């Protein structure tokens, strides 16, 4: 004899109940006018929700694009300022020390750029987390 698992039996009962209730709802006779009205209401609801989601996605995309533009602008300014500073230092050195100074200054520039990129990346991550948090709060408030 096969032993019956009570967990499987309960899951089967629940699924059977859901299927039965769904079938009963779909097969319940409704008048054509009532059916069209329900269909129209459902369509309007879906249309409103999709419109809201579209505008929200557009707003968030614009915010993220502006954020990325601002951060890249900051990085470009930092790199430009640092390279100008290092150029002046290299220009001021002379003779054999010039080659060593140039290598040293190039390493310093790379280190500063790396630090700037890491700071900018952290700032962007922080801003994205805040936007995501705001978006989640707005979504929860809408429901």
- Nearest to 113, CA basis, from 73, 77, 74, 78: 78
Q: What pTM was computed for the model?
A: 0.38
pLDDT for position 1: 41
Q: Is 71 in contact with 120 (CB distance < 8 Å)? A: yes
Q: In sequence order, what DSSP letters do the residues of 95-117 get, joined into one string?
A: TTHHHHHHHHHHHHHHHHHHHHH
Cα distance between residue 33 and residue 138, in whole Å: 37
Q: Percent of the chain at pLDDT above 90? A: 1
pLDDT digits 0-9 by tens, 77-119: 888 888 777 777 666 655 555 556 667 777 777 777 777 777 7
Q: Is 71 in contact with 124 (CB distance < 8 Å)? A: yes
Q: Is 79 in contact with 113 (CB distance < 8 Å)? A: yes
pLDDT for position 97: 57
pLDDT for position 15: 92
């Amino acid at each position: 004899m096969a032993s019956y698992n009570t967990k499987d039996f309960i899951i089967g009962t629940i699924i059977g109940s859901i299927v039965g209730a769904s079938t009963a709802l779909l097969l319940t006779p409704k008048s054509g006018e009532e059916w069209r009205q329900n269909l129209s209401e459902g369509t309007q609801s879906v249309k409103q929700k999709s419109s809201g989601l579209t505008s929200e996605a557009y707003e968030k995309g614009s915010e993220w694009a502006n954020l990325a533009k601002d951060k890249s602008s900051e990085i470009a300014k930092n790199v430009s300022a640092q390279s100008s500073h290092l150029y002046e230092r290299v220009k001021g050195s002379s003779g054999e020390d010039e080659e060593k100074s140039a290598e040293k200054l190039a390493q310093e520039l790379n280190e500063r750029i790396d630090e700037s990129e890491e700071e900018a990346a952290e700032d962007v991550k922080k801003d994205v987390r805040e936007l995501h948090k705001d978006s989640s709060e707005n979504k929860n408030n809408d429901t």
